[in-house]
Structure 1
Amino acid sequence: MPNELLTFPRPAPAPQAGVEKTAVFSWARELVLPALRKAVEELPAPERRITGYHRGWNEADGSPTPAPTGEGAGKAVRPALVFLSAMAVGAAAECAIPGAVAVELVHDFSLLHDDVIDADRLRRHRPAAWAVYGAPAAVLAGDALLISALSTLTASTTPHSASAVKELSWALDGLLRGQSQDVAFEGTDRVPATDYLAMAAGKTGALMGCACALGAVLAGVPEERVSGLRDFGRHLGVAFQCVDDLLGIWGRTERSGKPVGADVAARKKSLPVAVALAAAGEAGERLRSLYSRPQFLSEADIALATDLIEQAGGREATELEAKRQMTSAMRALARAEPVPAVYRRLQDIAMLLTHRDH
């Protein structure tokens, strides 16, 4: 039961300033992993095996994999945000373990469903769960993770569990609305940039905002401070999505795990594409003509489209939007009146997430 989570041995304290910035993710992973594994072990056998495969803990047949490290083990971004947000308001990171487990389970739930919806065959540099076990099994595994996330919070003995469940419910509503908008965009010729950003605020920003809010909620601080952390996470999530969109077009396969040009080949209406399709001028017109063709895009078409998106201003506009969202995120974080040392760690995470190689 989640009220037993705090009995696990405590890992080392959070890395101090001056230590390699990515060390905070290893610290968060170590802190959340025992409780996360316990939650997954309580799933029905089929969903447990699929989840273990999805996370890199076991092979498709259920046999254990060598201990995954780095991205193969999951970056633990959201657990790190939960723990640091608790510390930002003066609480111990351990008080937020149920929240960290819940957001990680919801994140995996969303990834399992996203891969089915988008028919993406790769996840974390190996075949996606649905491609191995079938779409119905992957969807059911995602459903099981969602139930487990809610159960983790409701079974917690903290006096703030009801508020934590409410916070997660708000995030799930935003996540669903954002995903629904994203699917709807596939059937439209053009997507206004404002509509795209609203979608990103739900699909990506809602859960990241929830991660930051949950640490403060479980610490029992007033809503004014919770709100600042929630808004920090929401804006950070949108900035993260902007960078993800850039990587989806100009990224490298060894970094993203996707074939180069995959988003363009799928005619995905990410923010750079939305901006470029709406642009006046020759580049925008040529891109609209290219995207309106019913035929599959050849490698030459993909290369041309990539150039046209940049010429029409899609890349520059997306980079500027990521910066605007980051500015808003840091202003929101200041409203939470965070402990100065933790403010710097959260700032480091924000910079890491929005300055990935693209």
Structure 2
Amino acid sequence: MTLRAVHNFSTDLGQALLRRARSDCDPFLRRAIGSIREPLATMAGYHRGWWNAHGSMSEGSSGKALRAALVLAAAGACDGDTSAATPVAAAVELVHDFTLLHDDVMDRDSTRRGRPTVWSVWGIDSAILLGDALHAAAIRALTQLRDPSVAVEAIMRLETACRDMCIGQFEDCRSEGRPDVTIDDYLRIAAGKTAALTACCCALGALSANADRATLAALEQFGYELGLAFQVVDDLIGIWGDPAVTGKPVGNDLGRRKSSLPVVAALNSRTGAAVELGALYQTTVAMTQSDIDRAAALVEVAGGRQAAQQYADTRIQNAIGALPDGVRSEDLVALAQLACRREH
């Protein structure tokens, strides 16, 4: 099989796993969201692309379901019954949606998945409260797992990840506009805001399959490395992504002077482009579109784009290398490669 054929096989398998995760989780998600009082339930269904703002059926995107797919793939790699892991995968999706709703408010992003964000339709207060309600729904779903000991540990792990995400997001917001952020600073932030949840997903899949502690730890490490790579790719998409593919506007990260990895790497390059970029980042004047375009060009000239891509490649190799032979399944490898080969 040629390298191109291997790549195409991996991509096709990854996409099939995402479709299966969306299909398997859908009934659980609909029940969980249906238990939320109106009008929050309508907002939640709108966010997931099930209907429009008036509650009429529509064909919107419900997201990739990567995190849910990781839960199911991890359970399958441990020879577990993936049907037992499906409620856990759905709970993870609810938590992910809660973070997206709050992120959109903090970043003032007006579009997600190619349609207006919840806060831009119903207001900031409603979006925040909906996020809180989805978080509560996720935990409620885990309390209904058949094995009480698994339920308690799953809740503990997911809530620990939520705590870490909040801390990471706080530090990310605090780093905006700072030209002195180091790579180590960035890694600490990314570990909280992204890697914590992907690591948790893989651990929860192993937990659902009653895997031993060594296997659970290995899958957790796989998810952690994958999460770091995923965040770096997200940073690249935030600057050079195609809105027609991503469903999100491009340039917002630069406009907010966020310390994404391409920017941090560029600022630490000590080049002439880094000096000019640093000056753009230190001013408090709102960036124009021309400023954003110039900043993107400076990041690339200073080597930030290349450095970030190399870093993502290294982390994905670390992720796959963390998997013991017994659980290095095609499904997990395909999802890892798909997550870090998104359009940008």
Q: Give the TM-score normalised by the residue count of structure 1.
A: 0.89
In the other structure, the counterpart of 1:101 is: 90
Alpha-carbon contact 1:158-1:218 (below 8 Å) kept: no
Correspondence for 1:179 among 147, 159, 169 = 169
In the other structure, the counterpart of 1:23 is: 16
In the other structure, the counterpart of 2:132 is: 143
Aligned residues: 335
CA shift digits 1:267-299 (9 cap, x unpaired): 222111112122212111111122223333233
Q: CA deviation at 1:171?
A: 1.1
Q: CA deviation at 1:266?
A: 2.4
Q: Does 1:317 align with 2:310?
A: no
In the other structure, the counterpart of 2:259 is: 269
Correspondence for 1:37 among 27, 30, 39 = 30
Correspondence for 2:324 among 329, 334, 337 = 334
Taking the aligned partners of 1:183 and 1:261, their CA distance within structure 2 comes to: 16
Q: Percent identity?
A: 42
Correspondence for 1:231 among 221, 225, 228 = 221
Change (3 A) 1:19 1:142: closer
In the other structure, the counterpart of 1:255 is: 245
In the other structure, the counterpart of 2:332 is: 346
State the one-letter code of the partner of 1:57.
Answer: W
Correspondence for 1:194 among 169, 184, 195 = 184
Taking the aligned partners of 1:181 and 1:265, their CA distance within structure 2 comes to: 18
Taking the aligned partners of 2:11 and 2:46, their CA distance within structure 1 comes to: 35
Q: CA deviation at 1:187?
A: 5.6
Taking the aligned partners of 1:329 and 1:278, their CA distance within structure 2 comes to: 26
Q: Does 1:221 align with 2:236?
A: no
Change (3 A) 1:34 1:297: same
State the one-letter code of the partner of 1:332.
Answer: A
In structure 1, the gaps of 5 or more residues are 1-15
Alpha-carbon contact 1:217-1:226 (below 8 Å) kept: yes
State the one-letter code of the partner of 2:49.
Answer: G
Correspondence for 1:166 among 128, 151, 156 = 156
Change (3 A) 1:187 1:291: closer
In the other structure, the counterpart of 1:355 is: 341
Q: Does 1:133 align with 2:122?
A: yes
Structure number with greater CO (CA < 8 Å, separation at least 6) is 2
Alpha-carbon contact 2:13-2:331 (below 8 Å) kept: no
State the one-letter code of the partner of 1:168.
Answer: L
Taking the aligned partners of 2:10 and 2:282, their CA distance within structure 1 comes to: 51
In structure 2, the gaps of 5 or more residues are 1-8
Correspondence for 2:76 among 87, 98, 108 = 87
Taking the aligned partners of 1:284 and 1:313, their CA distance within structure 2 comes to: 9
Query: 3-state SS of the aligned residue for 1:22?
Result: helix
Alpha-carbon contact 1:249-1:264 (below 8 Å) kept: yes
